[in-house]
């Protein structure tokens, strides 16, 4: 946990802190060192002659206003690979609101790194950020205090999701996710967990989730997390794909494509993180988060290409590709959520669903597919405000032929290998009744942070969803 305080003068900062400021920060001392650093056009950084600070980093004014390219965090990231002080002083006197949120989340997310999983020997001497002093003007204190509290709760949810997603899949089984979620939710009286085991999954007719999970030695689970911040009112539903490892099933992936497949449960992990954030913020709302958990494995009982399975809403799906399993578990979970709350305010699902969305949008934008224009507009605006942006892809009846089957109501993948991301969403829309607003987020590009050929969980799109939820509550 990183604690944060607001200060209005650098004299209040702890000695030997790392000072991060704009070139034009008015509170910087007028010294030869500062003047020399200000003369540089890019990032100026020093650990020498900067007493009483351990390190001073000055960054160009443009980065503090760059809400499009995440430039400030990108510039700071290498500086935090090996921090020199447990304390930071950060200049927030003049910063764009979106950049402020991105910066605070980045800083609070420093509370978790891969070494915390205790799978790698470390000497324990590495410096960790433990205290942040936010430099502001006196008139900014009240507003910034509220923003900091909110963004720290968002970051805490992101960290919970990241820690779970980063855990290797031999440990992070469907039951492990359930156990971790129950432990984390127990800290908040407003959260309660409901679990369906493999027998109950079959008993309640979730044939698609069963089909995906039945080939694994670790059986599937459906976890519903209920949050009652108020006693009555519409329920907002979030559904997450939780494939704890994806071999592709009998449609086997190649080795290189399998390496990051422990992260195929990021959608479910992010639903958990979102629920924890909402509970920490004590928001006046009712929410249900549904985690569809399974391992897509190879074994004697694994689903076969050509299998027809039936979802809990009665629709039969021809499984013509066992590596398109995510949309199957999502479909059942969406249908199940709509049956539990037939008057839901909305259902939003999220999944690392298709590599095609990465080819279309890259790693910075999540794909948004919906037929509800209100949800589309609200999520797009929330993405811009939070800096966790989405981009809409088409979703209409022109995709109908992509899911047609001669033997079942639907097939799970298009045989022409076209419009893969939108075709998956077209399949999913059949499982949410038309009277419930529904949106699908394909987070294959954004759920991971990629750097130097390595990938770790990012915690996105929790910032987007919190921003959207806060705005929706205020309507």
Q: What angle do CA 9, 10, 14 make, to 5 degrees?
A: 120
Residue 124, pLDDT > 90, answer no
pLDDT tens digits for range 201-242: 999 999 999 999 999 999 999 999 999 999 999 999 999 999
Residue 475, pLDDT > 70, answer no
Q: Taking residues 334-355, what's their average pLDDT? A: 97
Q: CA nearest 353: which of 324, 395, 389?
A: 324
Confidence of residue 123 (pLDDT cuts 50, 70, 90): confident
In the prediction, which pLDDT does 452 show?
Answer: 72
CB contact at 8 A, 329 and 212: yes
Query: Beta strand pairing status for 438-442 and 366-370?
Result: antiparallel
- Rounded to the nearest 5 percent, the helix, strand and coil shares of the chain are 40, 20, 40
Maximal C-alpha separation, the chain: 78
Confidence of residue 323 (pLDDT cuts 50, 70, 90): very high
Q: What stretch of H or E contains 438?
A: strand 438-442
pLDDT tens digits for range 145-191: 999 999 999 999 999 999 999 999 999 999 999 999 999 999 999 99
Give the tokens for residue 85. 């002080």
Please list the alpha-helical segments (H only) found in 295-437: 326-340, 356-361, 373-386, 420-429
Please list the alpha-helical segments (H only) found in 346-429: 356-361, 373-386, 420-429
Close Cβ partners of 168 (under 8 Å, ≥ 6 residues apart):
119, 262
What are residue 159's phi and psi, to 5 degrees?
-65, -40
pLDDT tens digits for range 362-407: 999 999 999 999 999 999 999 999 999 999 999 999 999 999 999 9
Q: Taking residues 440-452, what's their average pLDDT? A: 93
Close Cβ partners of 391 (under 8 Å, ≥ 6 residues apart):
361, 365, 366, 367, 368
pLDDT tens digits for range 178-188: 999 999 999 99
Residue 44, pLDDT > 80, answer yes
User: Is 327 a residue of the active site?
Assistant: yes
In the prediction, which pLDDT does 408 show?
Answer: 98
Residue 451, pLDDT > 80, answer no
In the prediction, which pLDDT does 187 show?
Answer: 97
Rounded Cα gap, residues 413 and 390, in angstroms: 24
Residue 273, pLDDT > 90, answer yes
Question: In angstroms, what CA-CA distances link 108 with 86, 153, 280, 456?
Answer: 13, 9, 15, 16
Instruction: To the nearest 10°, report the CA torsion of 307, 308, 309, 315.
Output: 160
Residue 453, pLDDT > 80, answer no
In the prediction, which pLDDT does 235 show?
Answer: 98
Residue 257, pLDDT > 90, answer no
Q: Taking residues 280-294, what's their average pLDDT? A: 98
Burial string for 253-292 (b: 16+ CB within 10 Å, else e) reads: eeeeeeeebbbbbbbbbbbbbbbbbbbbbebebbbbbbbb
Confidence of residue 413 (pLDDT cuts 50, 70, 90): very high
**Rounded mean pLDDT of the chain?**
96
Number of neighbours of residue 197 by Cβ within 10 angstroms = 15
Choice among 327, 376, 385, 460 that is catalytic? 327
Q: Write down the pTM of the prediction.
A: 0.97
């Amino acid at each position: 946990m990183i604690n944060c305080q607001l200060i209005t003068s650098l004299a209040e900062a702890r000695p030997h802190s790392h000072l991060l400021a704009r070139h034009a920060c008015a509170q910087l001392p007028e010294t030869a060192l500062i003047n020399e650093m200000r003369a540089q056009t890019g990032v100026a950084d020093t650990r020498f002659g900067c007493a009483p600070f351990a390190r001073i980093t000055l960054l160009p004014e443009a980065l503090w206003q760059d809400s499009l390219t995440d430039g400030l965090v990108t510039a700071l990231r290498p500086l935090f690979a090996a921090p020199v002080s447990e304390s930071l002083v950060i200049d927030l006197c003049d910063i764009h609101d979106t950049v402020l949120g991105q910066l605070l989340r980045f800083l609070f997310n420093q509370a978790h790194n891969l070494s915390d999983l205790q799978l790698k020997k470390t000497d324990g001497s590495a410096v960790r950020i433990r205290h942040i002093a936010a430099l502001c003007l006196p008139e900014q204190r009240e507003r910034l205090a509220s923003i900091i509290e909110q963004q720290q709760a968002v970051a805490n949810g992101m960290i919970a999701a990241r820690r779970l997603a980063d855990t290797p899949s031999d440990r992070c089984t469907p039951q492990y996710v359930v156990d971790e979620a129950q432990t984390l939710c127990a800290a908040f009286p407003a959260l309660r967990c409901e679990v369906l085991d493999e027998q109950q999954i079959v008993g309640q007719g979730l044939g698609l989730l069963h089909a995906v999970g039945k080939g694994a030695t670790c059986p599937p689970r459906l976890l519903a997390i209920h949050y009652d911040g108020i006693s009555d009112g519409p329920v907002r539903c979030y559904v997450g794909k939780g494939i704890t490892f994806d071999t592709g099933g009998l449609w086997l992936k190649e080795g290189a494509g399998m390496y990051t497949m422990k992260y195929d449960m990021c959608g479910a992990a992010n639903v958990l993180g979102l629920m924890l954030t909402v509970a920490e913020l004590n928001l006046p709302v009712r929410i249900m988060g549904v985690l569809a958990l399974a391992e897509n494995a190879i074994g004697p009982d694994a689903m076969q290409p050509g299998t027809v399975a039936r979802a809990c809403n009665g629709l039969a799906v021809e499984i013509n590709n066992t590596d398109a399993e995510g949309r199957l578990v999502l479909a059942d979970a969406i249908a199940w959520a709509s049956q539990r709350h037939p008057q839901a305010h909305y259902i939003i699902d999220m999944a690392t669903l298709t590599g095609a969305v990465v080819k279309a949008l890259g790693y910075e934008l999540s794909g948004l597919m919906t037929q509800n224009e209100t949800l589309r507009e609200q999520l797009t605006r929330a993405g811009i405000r939070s800096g966790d942006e989405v981009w809409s892809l088409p979703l209409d009846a022109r995709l109908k032929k992509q899911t047609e089957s001669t033997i079942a109501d639907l097939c799970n993948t298009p045989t022409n290998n076209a419009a893969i991301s939108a075709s998956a969403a077209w399949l999913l829309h059949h499982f949410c009744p038309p009277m419930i607003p529904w949106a699908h987020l394909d987070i294959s590009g954004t759920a991971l942070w990629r750097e130097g050929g390595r990938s770790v969980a990012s915690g996105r799109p929790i910032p987007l969803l919190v921003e959207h939820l806060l705005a929706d509550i205020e309507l």
